Amino acid sequence: MDENEPASSPPESPVTIQPLSSPCAPPSSPYLEPLSSPVREPISSPPQRSRSSSPLSTPSPHQYKRKKYETFDPVPDPTKKYWPPQEDDDIDVYVPDENQLEGIQQDYDHQQQNNFAQQYVLTSSSEESSSSSSEDAVDSESSSEDGSVKSSSSESDSEKSENGLNDSDDSDSNEQFSPKVYDGCSLTVDEGVLNMMDLFVKHKMEKVQIGVFEMKCPLCYGDSHKFYQLSVSDQIRNLFENHGLADLMDKYAAHRLELDLNILTDLCDGSEFKRAKIHEPYSLTLLGHTDGISISDSSDVSLWPLEYVIAELPPSLRFKFVLVSGIWIDNSKPYLNTFMKPFVKELQDINRDGGVKWIHPKSKEEMCTSVSVAAFAVDAPARALLQNILSHGGKHCCNICEQKMKKLPEQPVLPGVKKSTRRRVFTFEEEASTLRTAERMDVQGKEARRRQEQEAGRSKLTTIRGVRGISVAAELPGCDRSTMVFPEYMHLLLCLVKEFFSLWFEKEGPWILKDYQDIINSYLESIRVPDFVTRIPRSTEKFHQWKANELRSFVLYYSVIVLRRCMKEEYFQHWLLLVLSLYLLLQDTVSPIDISRSEIMLQLFCRDFARLYKADYFTYYVHNLLHLPLTVKRNGPLWSNSTFQFESFNGTFAKFIHGTKNQGKELVNNVRLTIGVEVLKARVNNSHLSDDQHSAVEFRGKVKKYVFTDREKLLLSSHNVKTSVQLYFRALTKGQTFATSIYQRQKKRNNFTVCYVNSYDERVFGEIKLFLESPGNVKMALIESFKVNHLRSFHHTDSGMVIKHIIPIEKTDDIHLVEISKLLFKVIRINDFVCLRPNKYEVNL
């Protein structure tokens, strides 16, 4: 036939289309036909095999949902599949006979997707077109002059010829009935759906595999996108222009000029903060943090703020001026590489543009502030995510060094007991392992990424010395990938001390203290602590519920006194090493000698740990003790870089969420309010109080009736004080609340054991018995003094180090009348010992 000759007119019976009743099938359309179907001879009505007395001419719709197939030997491979009857069906099933197989075989490659999406019977065809080969059909479908795939026709060739339309007419395109998948795409939506159906049939996919697919994040595979970004530059500008940040930085910088450069007193003295510091006026060096905050007890949704504090501010005000760069709200943890990207880009833009521009509130000059980030104080999982290395428990999981963990030997499996997995543990090495460096980690990350691309599809993730790939946080200005995280001591105590509790009270061994647990519990519950210790001691029966501040108090104050009579001497001496080294690193000022001593004691502690408690318990947290002295060198004393204060701020943060819907938006709108409240508190408590106002004394609670003893009367007369003076229970001064020993309302607290200065300018300890106010407005305290017995001090036998913050005392009959200004601070009294705080900053934890 001449190619220009019109096609033969269609037969009387047009093409009949029976749409498939399936949720995956495209909408039925009178214009939908098989894609580029070759024309063949008409096939007579198929024979039907009936399982009932009355055969059905049309199969039931649910017939096409079957997943099993039957095969017949005479049927060629591509056409041997058909829907078999099920047990609960009373319908006819179409089975092709051998005479029809040849024609079906020719059309199979072009009609497979249509056979799944719709059942149809071709009742018209031209005898001439039936001789066309399947190769011509393939060429007409897959190739064209311009290299694009042609759209399937919406009408048969015979209908086109009858209407006088040629193949190049756009009006004949299927696009007018089914739109393109996207602009410029050669496939229509109907064609795409049919192609997917073809894929499902070809691979015999189950129903669960072709269900609704949820969009997932390609990085964290989470289905949530609830992430809010806040402008850090706007917050910095607001703090400088409206909250006096410049004046506070100037005062603290002037104060620091008077300090010894060899003594570590704050974050700014750490080597990493000195390195990251941009030496420009009013430049900021930040310490970052993120952690989950539970919003509601009845919901799994948690809040993850990405927040920063300014190292150039004094410690007492640092956590009042907090910057928040992002908020993640979801029931899963954030993927930190994704979470950090907006903040990284913003800081890079700020420094590239010369800094954040703001107007000085006093001089009215335009200033510029550059920003850098020195480190992040986060827990162990977040440290691994920030550095993009293996988490704790991995082969090379240490954030500081490259020491390799070793697998424990396999244990024999007892009958009826499930085989346990082999755990990895660290070992103590006399020679320190290689410390991580940014250059090595970058090379290792690139090599790991290259191997991952080469070995795509492997279930095991390729790492080099624990490094998994690149780190987004390392792109922050001032950030060093190898030093930007460190063993933060709050989370370290939280995990380490609970491990010891588990050994002492749950694990069998020479260290067991289970028989003494009741004695220990009663001792702990009898302790009355001052108000700067937020949580009172409680029983070890529920030590799994203890908070980090409770564990900190146990280690520093209670443990030495409580365990001295219960624990074996060898184990007690070993525990003293930990207590003493932690106290040295938590002091207000840490000297190089303190760091050297703590380093030696922690090495002794870790060396003897495997011998005393078995190597099986030498975990990631025990190993991190070895890096605490290095952490102090890099980031200042432990109290300055801990997350205790961050947790306190997060508690204030969560209070500004009141509703149950749109919590993220509500919190974003209240961020400035949250920070403003904290700044105002700081101003009221510090900035706007003069020295006289700060040292002023306010008495509360008058004593209505009290009988002085003869010794007390004699003491009062020696100071020209009459017994008719007004007496009080409590006194407020220097930001502290002192109470008397006769104050009965505080039964769980001891706010009357104090350190004060006597008439010889010596620091002594005693108990406040009364507060007095004479007619001349002289405010004094009547104190029963203690005597220190240094012979009973705790000390480590091998090193000779004395624990100076736990002081043995003895009661005396001496009483003193002391001016209120001579009161220094409250101490923790535990029977015949008093305990001193390591620093003045960690209060109300």
Q: What is the pLDDT of residues 481-510, one digit of tens each?
A: 999 999 999 999 999 999 999 999 999 999
| pLDDT at site 504 | 96
Note whether 78 and 172 are same-domain residues: yes
Q: How many domains does the structure of the chain reveal?
A: 4
Note whether 624 and 734 are same-domain residues: no
| pLDDT at site 105 | 57
Kindly report the number of other CB atoms within 10 A of residue 617's CB atom.
19
Cα–chain center distance at 705? 57
| pLDDT at site 159 | 42
Find out whether 425 and 618 touch, Cβ atoms under 8 Å: yes
Residue 435 lies in a domain: no
Find out whether 796 and 766 touch, Cβ atoms under 8 Å: no
Residue 493 lies in a domain: yes
| pLDDT at site 638 | 96
| pLDDT at site 6 | 44
The residue ranges of the chain whose pLDDT is under 50 are 1-83, 85-93, 113, 115-176, 212-215, 219, 221, 223, 687-691
Note whether 250 and 158 are same-domain residues: no
Residue 462 lies in a domain: no
Kindly report the number of other CB atoms within 10 A of residue 771's CB atom.
27
| pLDDT at site 792 | 94
| pLDDT at site 683 | 63
Residue 362 lies in a domain: yes
Residue 783 lies in a domain: yes
DSSP-derived letter for residue 749 is: B
Structural domain containing residue 54: 16-210
Write the Ramachandran bin of 282: left for phi over 0, alpha for psi from -120 to 50, otherwise beta. Answer: left
Residue 392 lies in a domain: no
Note whether 35 and 97 are same-domain residues: yes
Considering the entire predicted model, what is its pTM?
A: 0.73
Note whether 742 and 828 are same-domain residues: yes
| pLDDT at site 192 | 80
Kindly report the number of other CB atoms within 10 A of residue 63's CB atom.
21
**Any residues with CB less than 8 A from the CB of 50 and at least 6 apart, and which?**
56, 92
pLDDT tens profile 243-286 = 899 999 999 999 999 888 899 999 999 999 999 999 999 999 99
Note whether 242 and 322 are same-domain residues: yes
Note whether 196 and 311 are same-domain residues: no
Tokens of 64: 């096409």
CA-based torsion, 131, 133, 139, 145: positive or negative: negative
Residue 454 lies in a domain: no
Find out whether 315 and 841 touch, Cβ atoms under 8 Å: yes
Distance CA(83)–CA(59), nearest Å, equals 10
Write the Ramachandran bin of 416: left for phi over 0, alpha for psi from -120 to 50, otherwise beta. Answer: left
Note whether 562 and 667 are same-domain residues: no
Alpha-carbon distance values, 218 to 221, 224, 328, 338 (Å): 5, 12, 17, 10
Tokens of 608: 């003897």
| pLDDT at site 828 | 97
Note whether 586 and 672 are same-domain residues: no
Note whether 253 and 330 are same-domain residues: yes
Note whether 343 and 198 are same-domain residues: no
Percent of the chain topping pLDDT 70:
71
Q: Which residues are bridge partners to 787 per DSSP?
A: 810
